[in-house]
Amino acid sequence: MTAREIIQKVRDNLGVPFNEQTYRDTFKIGNPDAQVTGIATTMMVTLDVLRRAHAAGLNFVISHEDTWWNDRDDTKDLQQNPLYKLKRDFCLTNNLIVWRFHDHQHARKPDQSIVAELRAVGIIDENAAMSGGKVYTVPETTLGAFASEIKKRTGWKAIRVVGDPKAKISKVLVGPGYASPRLTPEADVAIGGESPEADGAFDNPEYVMDAATLGVPKGQIILGHVVSEEGGMEEFAKWIKTFVSGVPVQFVPAGEPFWT
């Protein structure tokens, strides 16, 4: 099959209408009408991911995030950038094709990203969707122990935590990537991929710090954008295998970008 034919199958199996106005879920480089030798799914199209996909004989890369370092994959100001030239030329020389699967992954029910993120932090909800506001109950523990267990389970190295590590918690809100949930009185902890420390619509860090001063058990756990959603693209690889046959499909992790 061609890359375009494979994406048509994705569209046919979405379960939600495809938004033809999307600027995210489009082809980013390569010939959509070229034959696909294999599919690599990933969270972020780094050059390292492209090299590993090519080495594995996978010429069609489907990524959750952008390719050219900005949300719209706008390259007009990158034409003379040496890194852009190297990455572009690597794709073209090796006949790689890249398509992004972002908006429609989050539009689906269940949302593969949220299902995988919940599983990573020890919560099972195979029907989770991008509706927000659902409070999950976990066995009572402390904020510090809960964060440590997540780190132990996942191996992620750059988790950040706000709040008193001794605070007793059991009510959890979870969101992927930038969709870090706003803490509510009903929840003890908000878990997300990224969150501003200040100047946001609602600043969880300051809210948690004020709560800690008053002895109110609240916390925030920031996982990192990539790791909070990367499992979703592993889920996507499993899903696409249910209706695309004849070509290998492999999840190629981008990996945690931060280190401490």
pLDDT, position 133: 81
pLDDT, position 132: 66
Q: From residue 166, how far is each of 146, 216, 217, 257 by CA, in Å?
A: 10, 11, 9, 29
Please report the domains of the chain, with CATH numbers, ordered by start residue.
3-108+230-251 (3.40.1390.30), 122-222 (3.40.1390)
**Local structure of 216: helix, strand or coil:** coil
The Cα 151–Cα 93 span in angstroms is 39
Q: From residue 18, how far is each of 13, 105, 146, 238, 244 by CA, in Å?
A: 10, 11, 38, 21, 19
Q: Output the pTM of the full model.
A: 0.95
The Cα 91–Cα 240 span in angstroms is 23
Q: List the chain residues with pLDDT less than 50.
A: none
Task: Tell me how far the alpha carbon of residue 47 is from its chain's centroid.
Answer: 18
The predicted-structure confidence for 51-81, as pLDDT tens digits, reads as follows 999 999 999 999 999 999 999 999 999 999 9
The predicted-structure confidence for 152-178, as pLDDT tens digits, reads as follows 999 999 999 999 999 999 999 999 999
